Structure 1
Amino acid sequence: MSVASSEALTEFLRARVGDHLRSVIYYDDDGGEVLYVRDDVADEYTDGDIREVVRDVRLEAVEKPHQEDLYAHGPLNCTVRSFEDAVEMHFPHDETSGTAVALDGEVFAMHNTFIGQCLDAMES
Protein backbone atom coordinates (compact mmCIF):
# COMPACT_ATOMS: atom_id res chain seq x y z
CA MET A 1 0.00 0.00 0.00
CA SER A 2 1.07 3.52 -0.62
CA VAL A 3 0.36 7.06 0.43
CA ALA A 4 -2.35 7.07 -2.27
CA SER A 5 -4.32 4.38 -0.40
CA SER A 6 -4.00 6.42 2.79
CA GLU A 7 -5.24 9.51 0.96
CA ALA A 8 -8.23 7.49 -0.30
CA LEU A 9 -8.93 6.42 3.30
CA THR A 10 -8.72 10.06 4.38
CA GLU A 11 -11.32 11.10 1.82
CA PHE A 12 -13.59 8.21 2.82
CA LEU A 13 -13.37 9.16 6.49
CA ARG A 14 -13.96 12.86 5.82
CA ALA A 15 -17.13 11.94 3.92
CA ARG A 16 -18.25 9.34 6.48
CA VAL A 17 -17.53 11.03 9.83
CA GLY A 18 -17.01 14.67 8.81
CA ASP A 19 -15.75 16.88 11.62
CA HIS A 20 -15.25 13.87 13.89
CA LEU A 21 -12.08 12.99 12.00
CA ARG A 22 -9.16 14.19 14.10
CA SER A 23 -6.12 13.16 12.06
CA VAL A 24 -4.62 10.81 9.52
CA ILE A 25 -0.90 10.07 9.34
CA TYR A 26 0.85 7.97 6.72
CA TYR A 27 4.31 6.63 7.54
CA ASP A 28 6.97 4.61 5.74
CA ASP A 29 10.74 4.18 5.73
CA ASP A 30 11.19 7.84 4.85
CA GLY A 31 9.26 9.19 7.85
CA GLY A 32 5.71 10.33 8.50
CA GLU A 33 3.34 12.62 6.67
CA VAL A 34 0.25 14.22 8.18
CA LEU A 35 -2.44 13.81 5.52
CA TYR A 36 -5.14 15.49 7.56
CA VAL A 37 -5.40 17.17 10.94
CA ARG A 38 -8.35 19.11 12.30
CA ASP A 39 -7.39 22.62 13.44
CA ASP A 40 -8.15 22.14 17.15
CA VAL A 41 -6.22 18.87 17.18
CA ALA A 42 -3.23 20.49 15.45
CA ASP A 43 -3.10 23.00 18.30
CA GLU A 44 -2.67 20.15 20.82
CA TYR A 45 0.40 18.53 19.25
CA THR A 46 3.92 19.68 18.52
CA ASP A 47 6.03 18.36 15.67
CA GLY A 48 7.87 16.31 18.30
CA ASP A 49 4.60 14.79 19.50
CA ILE A 50 3.77 13.76 15.93
CA ARG A 51 7.21 12.17 15.53
CA GLU A 52 6.54 10.18 18.72
CA VAL A 53 3.18 8.98 17.38
CA VAL A 54 4.86 7.90 14.13
CA ARG A 55 7.56 6.14 16.15
CA ASP A 56 4.90 4.34 18.21
CA VAL A 57 2.89 3.05 15.25
CA ARG A 58 6.06 2.11 13.39
CA LEU A 59 7.14 -0.02 16.35
CA GLU A 60 3.72 -1.65 16.33
CA ALA A 61 4.04 -2.37 12.60
CA VAL A 62 7.33 -4.19 13.21
CA GLU A 63 5.30 -6.65 15.30
CA LYS A 64 2.81 -7.34 12.49
CA PRO A 65 4.42 -10.64 11.37
CA HIS A 66 4.72 -11.79 14.98
CA GLN A 67 1.06 -11.00 15.66
CA GLU A 68 0.00 -12.82 12.51
CA ASP A 69 2.04 -15.88 13.54
CA LEU A 70 0.81 -15.77 17.14
CA TYR A 71 -2.89 -15.75 16.28
CA ALA A 72 -4.34 -18.09 13.65
CA HIS A 73 -6.62 -15.35 12.31
CA GLY A 74 -4.97 -14.42 9.01
CA PRO A 75 -3.38 -11.07 8.20
CA LEU A 76 -3.49 -8.28 10.79
CA ASN A 77 -5.58 -5.54 9.19
CA CYS A 78 -6.03 -2.98 11.97
CA THR A 79 -5.58 -2.34 15.66
CA VAL A 80 -8.03 -0.13 17.54
CA ARG A 81 -7.45 1.77 20.78
CA SER A 82 -10.50 3.35 22.32
CA PHE A 83 -9.87 6.26 24.68
CA GLU A 84 -12.49 8.41 26.38
CA ASP A 85 -12.02 11.29 23.95
CA ALA A 86 -10.66 9.55 20.86
CA VAL A 87 -10.41 6.29 18.98
CA GLU A 88 -7.08 5.45 17.40
CA MET A 89 -7.01 3.03 14.48
CA HIS A 90 -3.74 1.75 13.04
CA PHE A 91 -3.62 0.07 9.65
CA PRO A 92 -0.14 -1.46 9.31
CA HIS A 93 0.52 -2.04 5.61
CA ASP A 94 3.68 -4.04 6.25
CA GLU A 95 6.59 -3.99 8.71
CA THR A 96 7.65 -0.45 7.78
CA SER A 97 4.60 1.44 6.57
CA GLY A 98 1.01 2.09 7.51
CA THR A 99 -1.69 4.59 8.33
CA ALA A 100 -2.74 5.92 11.74
CA VAL A 101 -6.19 7.46 12.13
CA ALA A 102 -7.71 9.33 15.07
CA LEU A 103 -11.45 9.91 15.43
CA ASP A 104 -13.48 11.60 18.14
CA GLY A 105 -14.45 9.05 20.77
CA GLU A 106 -18.14 9.60 20.22
CA VAL A 107 -17.91 8.36 16.62
CA PHE A 108 -18.09 4.73 17.62
CA ALA A 109 -21.17 5.23 19.77
CA MET A 110 -22.66 7.70 17.29
CA HIS A 111 -22.45 5.22 14.44
CA ASN A 112 -23.92 2.44 16.60
CA THR A 113 -20.91 0.16 16.26
CA PHE A 114 -20.24 -2.93 18.26
CA ILE A 115 -17.57 -1.19 20.36
CA GLY A 116 -20.02 1.63 21.11
CA GLN A 117 -22.68 -0.88 22.10
CA CYS A 118 -20.20 -2.67 24.40
CA LEU A 119 -19.22 0.62 26.04
CA ASP A 120 -22.89 1.52 26.51
CA ALA A 121 -23.60 -1.90 28.03
CA MET A 122 -20.83 -1.45 30.58
CA GLU A 123 -22.18 1.97 31.59
CA SER A 124 -25.69 0.74 32.28
Structure 2
Amino acid sequence: MSVTSAEALTTFLRDRVGDHLRSVIYYDDDGGDVLYVRDDVADEYTERDIKEVVRDVRLEAVEKPHQEDLYAHGPLNYTVRSFEDAVEMHFLHDETSGTAVALDREVFASHDTFIGECLDVIDQ
Protein backbone atom coordinates (compact mmCIF):
# COMPACT_ATOMS: atom_id res chain seq x y z
CA MET A 1 0.00 0.00 0.00
CA SER A 2 1.31 3.40 -0.93
CA VAL A 3 0.69 6.76 0.66
CA THR A 4 -1.95 7.27 -2.06
CA SER A 5 -3.85 4.22 -0.80
CA ALA A 6 -3.52 5.46 2.77
CA GLU A 7 -4.94 8.82 1.68
CA ALA A 8 -7.86 7.01 0.01
CA LEU A 9 -8.43 5.11 3.27
CA THR A 10 -8.42 8.42 5.14
CA THR A 11 -11.08 9.83 2.80
CA PHE A 12 -13.17 6.67 3.17
CA LEU A 13 -12.97 6.81 6.97
CA ARG A 14 -13.82 10.51 7.13
CA ASP A 15 -16.91 9.83 5.00
CA ARG A 16 -17.85 6.68 6.91
CA VAL A 17 -17.26 7.65 10.56
CA GLY A 18 -17.02 11.45 10.36
CA ASP A 19 -15.91 13.12 13.56
CA HIS A 20 -15.24 9.75 15.20
CA LEU A 21 -12.00 9.45 13.21
CA ARG A 22 -9.21 10.44 15.55
CA SER A 23 -6.10 10.07 13.38
CA VAL A 24 -4.42 8.38 10.45
CA ILE A 25 -0.67 7.95 10.17
CA TYR A 26 1.18 6.48 7.20
CA TYR A 27 4.80 5.38 7.54
CA ASP A 28 7.43 3.84 5.29
CA ASP A 29 11.22 3.71 5.00
CA ASP A 30 11.38 7.49 4.68
CA GLY A 31 9.51 8.29 7.89
CA GLY A 32 5.97 8.89 9.02
CA ASP A 33 3.28 11.34 7.95
CA VAL A 34 0.16 12.32 9.83
CA LEU A 35 -2.50 12.23 7.11
CA TYR A 36 -5.30 13.29 9.42
CA VAL A 37 -5.67 14.26 13.04
CA ARG A 38 -8.78 15.62 14.70
CA ASP A 39 -8.19 18.97 16.46
CA ASP A 40 -8.84 17.75 20.01
CA VAL A 41 -6.59 14.74 19.45
CA ALA A 42 -3.82 16.94 18.05
CA ASP A 43 -3.88 18.87 21.33
CA GLU A 44 -3.09 15.66 23.25
CA TYR A 45 0.13 14.77 21.39
CA THR A 46 3.46 16.49 20.93
CA GLU A 47 5.62 15.90 17.87
CA ARG A 48 7.79 13.67 20.05
CA ASP A 49 4.70 11.61 21.02
CA ILE A 50 3.83 11.14 17.34
CA LYS A 51 7.38 10.01 16.59
CA GLU A 52 7.07 7.45 19.39
CA VAL A 53 3.78 6.16 17.95
CA VAL A 54 5.39 5.82 14.52
CA ARG A 55 8.33 4.03 16.13
CA ASP A 56 5.94 1.64 17.88
CA VAL A 57 4.00 0.69 14.75
CA ARG A 58 7.26 0.32 12.80
CA LEU A 59 8.47 -2.19 15.39
CA GLU A 60 5.24 -4.12 14.99
CA ALA A 61 5.70 -4.09 11.20
CA VAL A 62 9.24 -5.42 11.50
CA GLU A 63 7.75 -8.40 13.35
CA LYS A 64 5.25 -9.14 10.55
CA PRO A 65 7.31 -11.95 8.92
CA HIS A 66 8.04 -13.49 12.32
CA GLN A 67 4.35 -13.40 13.29
CA GLU A 68 3.37 -15.00 9.98
CA ASP A 69 5.93 -17.77 10.52
CA LEU A 70 4.94 -18.27 14.15
CA TYR A 71 1.22 -18.74 13.51
CA ALA A 72 -0.13 -20.98 10.74
CA HIS A 73 -2.86 -18.47 9.87
CA GLY A 74 -1.56 -16.96 6.62
CA PRO A 75 -0.48 -13.35 6.11
CA LEU A 76 -0.85 -10.86 8.95
CA ASN A 77 -3.00 -8.07 7.50
CA TYR A 78 -3.77 -5.86 10.49
CA THR A 79 -3.90 -5.67 14.25
CA VAL A 80 -6.53 -4.06 16.45
CA ARG A 81 -5.98 -2.65 19.93
CA SER A 82 -8.93 -1.64 22.01
CA PHE A 83 -8.47 1.02 24.69
CA GLU A 84 -11.08 2.55 26.95
CA ASP A 85 -11.49 5.63 24.74
CA ALA A 86 -10.21 4.54 21.33
CA VAL A 87 -9.60 1.66 18.99
CA GLU A 88 -6.30 1.51 17.14
CA MET A 89 -6.13 -0.36 13.85
CA HIS A 90 -2.72 -1.01 12.30
CA PHE A 91 -2.70 -2.10 8.67
CA LEU A 92 0.72 -3.67 8.08
CA HIS A 93 1.64 -3.44 4.41
CA ASP A 94 5.03 -5.10 4.75
CA GLU A 95 7.87 -5.05 7.26
CA THR A 96 8.68 -1.39 6.55
CA SER A 97 5.37 0.35 5.86
CA GLY A 98 1.82 0.58 7.11
CA THR A 99 -1.09 2.74 8.11
CA ALA A 100 -2.22 3.32 11.70
CA VAL A 101 -5.79 4.47 12.30
CA ALA A 102 -7.43 5.61 15.55
CA LEU A 103 -11.20 5.72 16.00
CA ASP A 104 -13.40 6.71 18.90
CA ARG A 105 -14.37 3.58 20.79
CA GLU A 106 -18.10 3.99 20.18
CA VAL A 107 -17.65 3.61 16.40
CA PHE A 108 -16.16 0.19 16.91
CA ALA A 109 -18.62 -0.80 19.65
CA SER A 110 -21.26 -1.86 17.13
CA HIS A 111 -18.75 -4.26 15.65
CA ASP A 112 -17.42 -5.83 18.83
CA THR A 113 -20.52 -7.44 20.30
CA PHE A 114 -18.76 -10.80 20.61
CA ILE A 115 -15.72 -9.17 22.22
CA GLY A 116 -18.02 -7.29 24.59
CA GLU A 117 -19.66 -10.55 25.63
CA CYS A 118 -16.24 -12.11 26.24
CA LEU A 119 -15.21 -9.14 28.38
CA ASP A 120 -18.43 -9.48 30.38
CA VAL A 121 -17.60 -13.15 31.08
CA ILE A 122 -14.03 -12.26 32.12
CA ASP A 123 -15.23 -9.45 34.42
CA GLN A 124 -17.66 -11.71 36.34
Mapping of residues 18-57 of structure 1, within 5 Å: 18-57=18-57
Equivalent residues in 2 for 1:4-23, closer than 5 Å = 4-23=4-23
Partners of 1:83 and 1:116 lie apart in 2 by: 15
- Structure 1: give runs of 5+ residues left out of the alignment: none
Partner of 1:95: 95
Structure 1 position 73, deviation (Å): 1.1
Q: TM-score, normalised by structure 2?
A: 0.92
Q: Is the 8 A contact 1:108 1:116 kept in 2?
A: no
Change (3 A) 1:17 1:65: same
Which residue of structure 1 aligns with residue 71 of structure 2?
Answer: 71
Q: Tell me: CA distance 1:121–1:75, structure 2 relative to 1, closer, same or farther (3 Å).
A: closer
CA deviation map 1:56-85 (0-9, x unaligned): 000000000001111111111100000010
Q: State the one-letter code of the partner of 1:77.
A: N
Instruction: Please tell me the root mean square deviation across aligned C-alpha atoms, in Å.
Output: 1.3
Mapped partners of 1:60, 1:82: distance in 2: 16
Q: How does 1:111-122 map to 2 (within 5 A)?
A: 112-113=110-111, 115-119=112-116, 122=119
**SS at 1:33 equivalent:** strand
Q: How many residue pairs align between the two structures?
A: 121
Determine the C-alpha separation between the residues in 2 that align with 1:38 and 1:64: 29
Percent of matched pairs sharing the same residue? 81
Deviation at 1:121, TM superposition (A): 5.8
- SS of the counterpart of 1:100? strand
Q: Which residue of 2 aligns with 1:81?
A: 81
Q: Which runs of 5+ in 2 are unaligned?
A: none
Which amino acid in structure 1 is aligned with residue 116 of structure 2? L
User: Distance between the aligned counterparts of 2:4 and 2:28, measured in 1?
Assistant: 13
How far 1:118 sits from its partner (Å)? Answer: 2.3
Letter in 2 for 1:16: R
Q: Which amino acid aligns with 1:22?
A: R
